[in-house]
A and B are shown apart, each in its own frame.
Chain A
Amino acid sequence: MSAEVIQDTHVRVHVTGDIDLSSVTEFYNALDEAAERSPGGFIIDLTETTYIDSAGVQAILVIYGKMRESNGCLIIIVGNVRIKTVLEVVHLEQLPGVCVCTTLDEAKQALYISKREQEGNP
């Protein structure tokens, strides 16, 4: 697995490979770094992720907790149905400030909307 923090107009964590117990630390560190850079929200790009288990979900939830302290949001891009199902099992998409998208554009838009909502509702 590799997790890369990309910053252009927004901050995005791009993950390739399997997120499991052996790689979850690296994954979490990338998420943490992104949260530091963009407390208002960032994108987790799982389009090239092949596997995620509950450990990865747990890492996302921990970062989610941090983000919520600053009212930030998490935008997750999922290309794999299986990963999406995993996230749905724990009803991640139903959490406030969490948006699960299928493309990067959708994600950028969702991030923009969320930030706007944050600004209007500080």
Chain B
Amino acid sequence: MEKMKRAGFILVVAFAILVGFLAIVGVGGPVLEPSYLALVFHIVFVFGASIAIAVVSARGYLRSGSLNVALLGASLLISGLASTISIWALVPGIWPTLLINEAIAIGNIGILIGAFVQFLSAVVTWSAFGTTDVERRKAILVTIYFISLLSIAILVNLAALGLTPIFLTPAGPTPVRMVILVTSILLTLASSLLFDRRYVQTRSQVLYWYSLALALFGISLVCAAFTMKIGDIMNWVSRLALYLSGLYFFMALRTSEAADADLTERWVDAFGTDIGLNTLFSNMLNGVTYCKIVTDETGKPIDYVYLGVNDAFKRTNGVSVRDIVGMRATEVFPGIENDPADWIGVYGHVALTGEPVAFESRSKLTDRWYSVSVYSPRKGHFVSISQDITESKRAEVALRESEERLRHALDGAKAGMWVQCSNGEWFSSPQLNTLFGRPVDARPMGFEDFPSILHPEDLLRIREAWTYAIATSGPYEEEYRVIWPDGSVHWLASKGKITTDESSRRQFIGITLDITERKRAEEALQRTNEELQAVMDALPIGVVITDAHGGIVRTNGMDEKIWGSRPTTKGIEDYYEYKAWWADTGKPLAPEDWASAQVVLRGETVAGQVLEIQRFDGSHGFIINSAAPVRDADGKIIGSAVAIQDITTLQMAEEALREEQKHKLEFYQATIMAATNGKLIITERSEIEQIAGPTAATWEIHNPEDIRIIRHGVEEIAAVAMMDEARIGELLVCVGEAGQNVVKHAGNGKASLHKTDDSLIVVVSDSGHGIPALAVPDVALRRGYSTVGTLGMGYKIMIQFADRIYLATGPEGTTVGLEMYLHLAELQAGVGLMEKFGL
């Protein structure tokens, strides 16, 4: 078949090339016009084909109501008759009243009318004039064919009366003929192209041969335009093309008969103008198809042919082919025969049995769901009305999955859902039962059940909240207790809100959760907090807890006593409200200097800030401020814990004590000085060093031997200084006693010799614990008093012999300055020697 189609197409092209060649070369050639030859050919190839197609078209129209089919038949009828009459008239002697010119006029004008009707049939859909009434169709058909025949009769009579224009002169065709021929050519070729386009869409064999037939018809007309004389070469080429087109028309008829559908339906298919579908269902949202089932030899449905579809069908099935009428289902949906939905089987059953069905099925090919109703208007045919329900199916699946997830979520969260409609109807999920200590499969909880289940102390509150929420359409959010059948008390939390459904009905929708564990944890946390607060309040020091920003989150009672009422402190930036000074320097404390600030800013633990503070009542006090970081499980600092010790009383007592000791010391100093006749002066180490002047010699003291060495050293220098020998001996006794004290009380020390203008000063010092200030009088004056339990007589001896003793003692050690005047007379004489020694 394919080879035949290809051969048919090649022949048409060959004709076109031949005509083009002849037109260009302009070959007139010899004239060949035997009597009756052309007439016989015309009757066979042109008239026969015209009549056959007219008949087929008439049947097709009566069955389908497609006006296009009727017009197509009429077109060929007109063309065929006019052409045949024209040839007939050209046979010499048959019709002597008609001249050649009139014969050609009949042929050309008839062809023009036929081409015009043909074009109308190809380009316009005449469904607006369609009807389902068969009698009326017959009337219309008769009318159309009658008009066609009438137009030919009129044309012939006009020609016979000589009223037609001149078409051919001995010089050749007239412009009138050329205009008519060219118009006919254009209309015919345009029709050919339109049918060819329909063929591309539908792959209908009928349309293939029909469009080629029209093309040949057009070529024939082109040849006619170039025909100079009746019977010349171009005239015969024209005639051959015309006869060949007749053959192609027959081919189209033969192809139809070979197809599964009968010619009429294929004919209708080709034009897609099934009157019922197009007029009634074109605007429907549902897809509508009218099809004929194709069966195999055993009568089993194997395919179906679309006889009519509406746009919705193509849209919902994603059919890109503009017109699928006339196509088989397996052509439109390759693989449909294997679709699990078994469309062909189901439709075939309906078409063959006449039993209508309605079903929902998913097409594997389009991956969409359809709701389909199928019925059979006549045996072997079916009408399918389908609706794409993919979205609703997906929504249904999504809803089912959502409900499943919700159920799992509710189970997992120990939650129940409930809905109260505006008409008082109450619905609840099974999980709600478990929240009230009932079996999950028990009767769903009813609204009326709540008063007996709610804890009496919560009943009134919950009822009021419920009523209020409904009255105001506001949110409902309550926590309450319920008493289970076993008597145990459980905490529940309900949240709900008023919503409006699609029908504008109000409904109260909510969810209830079991929060017993959370409540118990909260209670435990509260107890812990209270215990912590109690412990903090019992502490004798102020305690402050800050957050990570230094904001104060908790204090205790002692802190309130220390500071008074603290202002709101959200962070370190608020610390400027706290007035404090370093106790030792008196410098004010900056916000970032506070222990808690250092903790949260740098993570440092700060201990023992001694501060003077100004309380919020304006009074002053002293505190020791310490802070350490508070960390979370990951070690991150989440705040600080501050300990504040109020040392105001202690500080004042120490201050008073220091003052008292100072007074006592001053008293003792005066007393000692008086008692020793000005010999023993209690002073400071620095003052002794200042009095002593330049150093002449220094010694280390570690053991008793060192003391002897010092004594000898001092003796030599004193002798050089011309000190009186007796006084040297006394000085050495004093040096020995001072050195002995170093060894006994401190273990180590040092000694140095200094020279003033009129005396030698030996300074002996150690780093021992010193003599307690208040013990100095006893040490210095009381015989036998010793701080280490030995007989204390060293100072007595030193006071006895030295001219002046400077004593500086304290926790940092003891320094004794022993001053011995040089003999006055020899002092003056010894100045030179002293200078010699560099003293």
Contacts and interface: CB of A to CB of B under 8 A. Distances in A.
Given A53-B737, A82-B733, A22 B707 contact: yes
Contacts of A80: 729
A54 B704 contact: no
Nearest to A56: B736
A57 interface: yes
B707 A57 contact: no
B708 A18 contact: yes
B793 A20 contact: no
Given A54-B737, A55-B740, A58-B790, A22 B704 contact: yes
Interface string B748-791: 00000000000000000000000000000000000100000011
Interface of B: 703-705, 707-708, 711, 726, 729-730, 732-733, 736-737, 739-740, 743-744, 783, 790-791, 793-794, 796-797, 800-801
Interface string A26-57: 00000000000000000000000001011101
A20 B707 contact: yes
A82 B730 contact: yes
B783 A90 contact: yes
A70 interface: no
B708 A89 contact: no
B731 to A, nearest CB: 10
Nearest to A24: B704
Contacts of B744: 21
Given A85-B800, A89-B793, A89-B800, A21 B743 contact: yes
A63 interface: no
A91 B711 CA distance: 24
B726 A81 contact: yes
A55 B704 CA distance: 11
| Interface residues of B, dominant DSSP | helix
A54 B729 contact: no
B740 A21 contact: yes
Nearest to A80: B729
Contacts of A57: 791, 793
A90 B793 contact: yes
A104 interface: no
A51 B711 contact: yes
Given A18-B711, A20-B708, 11 more contacts: A20-B711, A20-B736, A22-B703, A51-B732, A53-B740, A54-B737, A54-B794, A54-B797, A82-B729, A89-B797, A91-B783
A20 B797 CA distance: 14
A29 B800 CA distance: 28
A53 B733 contact: yes
Interface in A63-94: 80-82, 85-86, 89-91
A86 B734 CA distance: 10
Nearest to A89: B800
Interface string A1-38: 00000000000000000101110000000000000000
A58 B793 CA distance: 9
Contact of A61 (B705, B726, B739, B791): B791
B726 A20 contact: no
Given A51-B732, A51-B736, A85-B801, A21 B793 contact: no
A61 B792 CA distance: 12
Given A58-B793, A82-B726, A51 B733 contact: yes
Contact of B705 (A22, A81, A86, A91): A22
A89 B743 CA distance: 22
Contacts of A22: 703-705, 707-708
A58 B740 CA distance: 13
B719 to A, nearest CB: 15
A54 B704 CA distance: 13
A51 B739 CA distance: 14
Contact of A54 (B703, B726, B730, B793): B793
B705, B729, B796: residue with the most chain A Cβ atoms closer than 10 Å: B729
B779 to A, nearest CB: 13
B790 A90 contact: no
Contact of B796 (A53, A58, A61, A89): A89
29 contacts: A20-B704, A20-B736, A20-B740, A21-B704, A21-B736, A21-B739, A21-B743, A22-B705, A22-B708, A51-B711, A53-B733, A53-B736, A53-B737, A53-B740, A53-B797, A54-B740, A54-B791, A54-B793, A54-B794, A81-B726, A82-B730, A86-B733, A86-B797, A89-B793, A89-B796, A89-B797, A89-B801, A90-B793, A90-B797
Contacts of B800: 85, 89
B707 to A, nearest CB: 6
Contacts of B707: 20-22
Nearest to A58: B791
Nearest to B736: A53
Contacts of B793: 54, 57-58, 89-90
A17 to B, nearest CB: 10
A22 B797 CA distance: 19
A91 B793 CA distance: 11
A47 B532 CA distance: 83
Contacts of A90: 783, 793, 796-797
A45 to B, nearest CB: 19
A21 to B, nearest CB: 4
Q: Closest 5 CB pairs between A and B? A: A22-B704, A21-B704, A82-B729, A53-B736, A89-B800
Contacts of A89: 793, 796-797, 800-801
Nearest to A90: B793
